[in-house]
Each structure stands twice: as structure tokens, then as C-alpha cells.
Amino acid sequence: MREQLMQTTEATEVKVEAKLIPIYIMGKKYEVPETLTIMKAMEYSGFKFIRGCGCRGGICGACGTVYRLPGDYHIRVGLACQTVVVPDMYLTQIPFYPANRAVYDMETALPELAEVQKKYPELFRCVACNACTKVCPMDVPVLDYISAIKQGDFKKAMELSFDCIQCGLCATRCMAEMAQYHIAQMVRRLYGAKLAPQPKHAAEMVDDIKGGKYTDMLGDLKSKSLDELKKLYTERESEPHMSPEDWKPQDTSCL
Ligand code: SF4
Ligand code: SF4
Ligand code: FES
């Protein structure tokens, strides 16, 4: 198991001077600087991540971790790249959780509850225990979005589940044995493709691209050297942070 997830390597050198504290990684004790995140503490202890690590910034959901603290029955969770170690924590990573992931054809799938229920009948096994919401490291209201899906309110489910990073920790606690995040992803896809209002300007832009409006401009860019491209990029006119909605650059030739 351990070999599949990570390999041990030379300990990461930590330049900062920090107090060392004991933590237990998969049952083995290590002394690590108290300022490190779980991920860096594991690397400091000699582990090399070959799975269970992606963005290192709390976005990709690859580093779900469970831990317990001494004298506390709670199972705690966190993202290894975001959670700082505490003394005597017992931890292990759950970088992947086996989950039912339905296959569907977005061309023919209908944006209806029945379609989602057909692919994920376990949706209606939810007992509203709320364990999923409590475990979510992104504070996503998981039970609420599952309830919205059950009510066929795809817009609400899309909005409530938008911050999900697919870490899979909610599925580890679900007594209905569902993978909430895959169900919500199907709903967001259906909503985005078939229910959300279509932006007129995007359709116009696609028509312009297909009509060849930008072909010469792109060809011109592709013919430039790296230095010319860098110069163009650094000297470009940027949109101000607080620009009005109708803001336009002075040079409108590329619009
Ligand atoms: S909803 Fe589930 S998969 Fe998404 S971030 Fe929360 S715990 Fe992770
Ligand atoms: S953990 Fe599962 S059963 Fe409990 S509220 Fe969440 S989705 Fe429903
Ligand atoms: S490595 Fe991406 S969320 Fe932690």
C-alpha cells in the first residue's frame, strides 16, 4: 500500500529553525518542525509523493488526509497541503477513494432528475445524516446540494457545489455509499450545457472565429520570435481592476 502511494527518499532539508514535534504517519513516529503542513512534514520525514499531491495550493483535491488527536475520538480531516501539523497527530492520506462514477453521453443526456437518478440511484439512499458536510475541507454544504438535486433544483445544486474540489472525503463518510461529488459534477455539467442561459457574446465570438476574423492575427503572432512575443506581452494594455463594463483598449484592432 505504502509503496503504491509514495516512495521514501532523502529527507527534505528545512532551513527554518522550528521546534520539532512528534507526529505519526501511518503508525510510525517522526519528529518534524511544528511549522510545516502535513505534506511538507511527510516530505521532511522522507516520503516522496508520487500520488496524492497536485497543486499544493488547496485546489486540486488530491491530498485528502484523515487524522486523530490524542484523547479525542473525532476523526478529523484536512488537505495535506493546507493543514499544519500538531503534536501527536496520527495521520494517513486518502489520495483516492473508489467511487461509482457513471458514464453518460452529454449530447443525449436530459437535464432532468430522472436522468441523474437513472445513473445514480443511490442518490435516494441519503439519510440526511450530514456527515458529508461536516467532513468537507472546503466547507461545501454537501447535504444541501444533495437535497437540491433530489428536488430537481439543478441551479441551486450547481451553486452550492461549485467550490467542490473532488477530494472524495465526503464519500468516505457516506452511509448511503454514494460519491456525492460525481453526482454534483453530472448536475453541473447538465445545467451548464442545457439549462444555463447561453451568453450571446460567446456565440458571436465563435462565429467570428469560424468566419476567420482572427486567422491573420494568429498567423502574425505565430511568426514572431520569443523575444518579440515577450515584448508584446509586457507592453500590452491591461484592463484595470476596477474598469467599467464597457471598457475597451485604446487599440481596438484585435476586437
Ligand atoms: S464536497 Fe466532497 S469531494 Fe467536494 S470538496 Fe467537499 S468533501 Fe471534497
Ligand atoms: S453522508 Fe451520505 S447519507 Fe449522510 S447526508 Fe451526506 S449524502 Fe446523505
Ligand atoms: S495538493 Fe492540491 S489540494 Fe492539496
184-217 tens-digit pLDDT: 999 999 999 999 998 898 899 999 999 999 999 9
Predicted local confidence at residue 255, as pLDDT: 82
Domains parsed from the chain with CATH numbers: 2-93 (3.10.20.30), 113-194 (1.10.1060.10)
Q: If you average pLDDT over residues 225-249, what whole number do you get?
A: 90
Cell of 226: 520569443
Ligand 3 atom, smallest distance to 82 CA: 4
Grid cell 489520495 — which residue?
95
Number of the ligand 2 atom closest to the C-alpha atom of 176: 3
Share of the chain above pLDDT 90, in %: 81
Cβ 177 under 6 angstroms from ligand 2: no
- Helices 180-190, 142-150: crossing angle, 10 deg rounding: 50
* Pocket perturbation via mutation, ligand 3, pick of 49, 81, 91, 181 by most ligand atoms within 8 A of CB: 81
Measured distance CA(222)–CA(226) in Å, rounded = 10
Closest residue (by CA) to atom 7 of ligand 2? 126
Ligand 3 pocket test, candidate residues 60, 96, 163, most atoms within 8 A of CB: 60
Distance of CA 169 from the midpoint of ligand 1 (Å) = 6
What is the chain's length?
Answer: 255
Please indicate whether residue 127, judged by its CB atom, sits closer than 6 Å to ligand 2. Answer: yes
Quick check: 13 pLDDT over 90? no
Residue 115 burial (10 A CB sphere; 0-12, 13-18, 19+): middle
- 198-210 in b/e form (b: 16+ CB < 10 A) is eeeeeeeeeeeee
| Ligand 2 midpoint to CA 176 (Å) | 6
**Contacts of residue 175, Cβ cutoff 8 Å, sequence gap at least 6:** 127, 129, 131
Among the atoms of ligand 2, which is closest to the Cα of residue 180? 7
Exposure b/e, 26-57, CB count within 10 A at least 16 = b: eeeebebbeebbbbbbbbbbebebeebbeebe
Please, which pLDDT band fits residue 12 given cuts at 50, 70 and 90? low
Question: Rounded CA gap, 230 and 236, in Å?
Answer: 10
Cell numbers given for 73: 475520538
List pLDDT tens digits, range 118-142. 999 999 999 999 999 999 999 999 9
Cβ of 153: how many Cβ atoms within 10 Å?
Answer: 17
Read off the pLDDT band of 14 (50, 70, 90): low
State which amino acid sits at residue 144: D
- Average pLDDT for residues 152-175, to the nearest whole number? 96
Q: Is the distance from the beta carbon of residue 23 to the nearest atom of ligand 2 less than 6 Å?
A: no
Query: Which atom of ligand 3 is the closest one to the Cα of 165?
Result: 3
Question: Residue 230 has which C-alpha cell?
Answer: 515577450
Q: Whose CA is closest to atom 7 on ligand 1?
A: 136
Confidence grade of residue 100 (pLDDT, cut at 50, 70, 90): very high
Nearest to residue 57, comparing CAs of 34, 79, 78, 35?
79
On average, the pLDDT of the chain sits at 92
Distance (angstroms) between ligand 1 centre and the Cα of 128 equals 16
Burial 131-140 (b: 16+ CB within 10 A, else e): bbbebbbbeb
